[in-house]
Amino acid sequence: MAELAEIILDGKSYKFPVITGTENEKAIDISKLRDETGYITYDQGYKNTGATKSEITFLDGENGILHYRGYPIEQLAETSSFLEVVYLLIYGNLPNRAELDSFTNRISKRSLVHEDMKIILDGFPSYAHPMGVLSSLVCSMTAFYPESLNPNPTDEDMDLHIIRLLAKMPTMVSWSYRKSKGMPFNYPKNGLDYCSNFLQMMFAHPTESYHVDPVVSDALNKLLILHADHEQNCSTSTVRIVGSSQASLYGSVSAGINALWGPLHGGANQEVIEMLDEIMASGMSVASFIDKVKKKEVRLMGFGHRVYKNFDPRAKIIKVACDQILNKLGINDPILDVAKALEEAALKDPYFVDRKLYPNVDFYSGIIYRALGIPVNMFTVMFALGRLPGWIAQWKELRANKEPIGRPRQIYTGSVKRDFTVIAKR
Ligand code: SDX
């Protein structure tokens, strides 16, 4: 017999079906609540609200579990390439050799961007934050590829829009960086893998030959995999709700980039490094900084999470990778010691333990980005590069399922005027 939830309102009983997910998550289906009762629910920030059913990513915040299409993140981060994970998220299965070769080839062939993107880049001052530049460049793809505005594309056209965005994102990211530095743009090199190609576009110098360090490329591969999707987080929910109006993929992802930019979301990785640098520059002890956090004078950026009330599994992997990568690169960055000391102090302190505040994906990632030579103001752009396949997969799923336009309700608390005659007197 179907499981039901009963709500008693004004002395009347209403029953609503209970939905059970494949990992035994439970939800009360209130799709008919307002029609049957006149009531709506209230859940500021949607902490208790499921916006959709999805087959893409599962995360268990209490037990620190993260799976992409059923595969544990730990396995994928250790054994897969980023493009294999991109394929898995978007198409639902890990590619075989032939599928991966074809996918890689299709992406390589479309990695160039329209030369007029240089004109857009020229319109930005060199100090423009690269997240603002990137969201503009992604949205400009609706102009260079106006067919992407068709709200009912064929599967073939939809796939072409997806391939174009995956292929051109590394080029747009690297060009926004090169522009900010006043350096000439590097073009994609199709013979290189996705991460190596990105690194050469970012750092190759026109007067010298550039060698991609496999340690750096492997580290980037792992970081991009760890950021690739995270179910209905703020930026992915943004991509979904914009996509639910039948807006284009490029317009929806551009909106997601702007949501990710916020310091409470993807912008935290930049805030963490700035926080650690500030602690070191001020000579403040870790204990003194922790006291400031407990007095709510500052937030411990990179700590806490809307869903994880245990260790963020990505943070665990990145922390181990930090030591490995810095050792392999022969880098001794004292900031890592400060981060570890902060984590150790916080995890022993009841203030953090009681609030279930643990390191999240952003706490250690910036230390690796910095070791890879990526500047701090590009950290959130790197998060966007990693999250792109998740945004695409979730947008594709929403459109395939023909989900309705997103339109939450509200409880009105504004003024109430009954004497409308006042207006008529004017
Ligand atoms: C990401 O959703 C996702 O999946 C996101 C993400 C993804 O992959 O897409 O995982 C990526 O965004 C990770 C989060 C990155 N953000 C930060 O590191 C910024 C710092 N963290 C926070 O501001 C905060 O923890 C949030 C926003 C992440 C979560 O906030 P919640 O769950 O809404 O918690 P809250 O703000 O209601 O805080 C509950 C309590 C409060 O204290 P009290 O009022 O109960 O006394 O915990 C405190 C908060 O003050 N608190 C913190 C804290 N985070 C929460 N105190 C100090 N430092 C912090 N970082």
Q: What is the mean pLDDT of residues 289-311?
A: 93
Residue 362 Cβ contacting ligand 1 at under 6 Å = yes
Instruction: Give the residue carrying structure tokens 């390589």.
Output: 108
- Predicted pLDDT at 268: 87
Q: Whose CA is nearest to atom 50 of ligand 1?
A: 296
Q: For residues 129 and 70, is the Cβ–Cβ distance under 8 A?
A: no
Residues annotated as catalytic are 305, 362
Q: What is the mean pLDDT of residues 207-233?
A: 94
Q: For residues 212 and 192, is the Cβ–Cβ distance under 8 A?
A: yes
Examine the pLDDT at 423 and tell me if it is beyond 70.
no
Q: Which atom of ligand 1 is nearest to the CA of 272?
A: 18
Q: Which one of 131, 264, 379, 385 would you pick to mutate in the ligand 1 pocket, going by the greatest count of ligand atoms within 8 A of its CB?
A: 264
Round to whole Å and give the CA distance between 9 and 214.
Answer: 63
Q: For residues 199 and 217, is the Cβ–Cβ distance under 8 A?
A: yes
Examine the pLDDT at 326 and tell me if it is beyond 70.
yes
β partners of residue 65: 60
Round to whole Å and give the CA distance between 271 and 423.
Answer: 50
Question: How confident is residue 424, by pLDDT bands cut at 50, 70 and 90?
Answer: low
Task: Report the chain's mean pLDDT, rounded to a whole number.
Answer: 94
Q: Ligand 1: distance of its center to the CA of 298 in Å?
A: 12
The alpha carbon of 140 is separated from its chain's Cα centroid by a whole number of angstroms, namely 20
Q: Whose CA is nearest to atom 51 of ligand 1?
A: 304
Q: What tokens appear for 309 in the block?
A: 């009330």
Q: Which one of 223, 274, 357, 388 would you pick to mutate in the ligand 1 pocket, going by the greatest count of ligand atoms within 8 A of its CB?
A: 357
Q: Ligand 1: distance of its center to the CA of 10 in Å?
A: 37
User: Tens of pLDDT along 363-407?
Assistant: 999 999 999 899 999 999 999 999 999 999 999 999 999 999 999
Q: Name the residue among 385, 388, 386, 408 with its Cα closest to residue 396.
A: 388
Quote the percentage of the chain above a pLDDT of 70.
98
Q: What tokens appear for 206 in the block?
A: 């026109």
Domains and CATH numbers, the chain: 4-65 (2.20.28), 68-426 (1.10.580.10)
**First and final C-alpha spacing in the chain:** 63
Round to whole Å and give the CA distance between 373 and 227.
Answer: 19
Round to whole Å and give the CA distance between 18 and 1.
Answer: 11
Instruction: Give the residue carrying structure tokens 């930005």.
Output: 124
Residue 360 Cβ contacting ligand 1 at under 6 Å = yes
Which contacts of 100-104 are long-range, i.e. CB under 8 A and separated by 24 or more positions?
104/193, 104/194
Round to whole Å and give the CA distance between 339 and 360.
Answer: 12
Round to whole Å and give the CA distance between 14 and 29.
Answer: 12
User: Tens of pLDDT along 70-96?
Assistant: 999 999 999 999 999 999 999 999 999
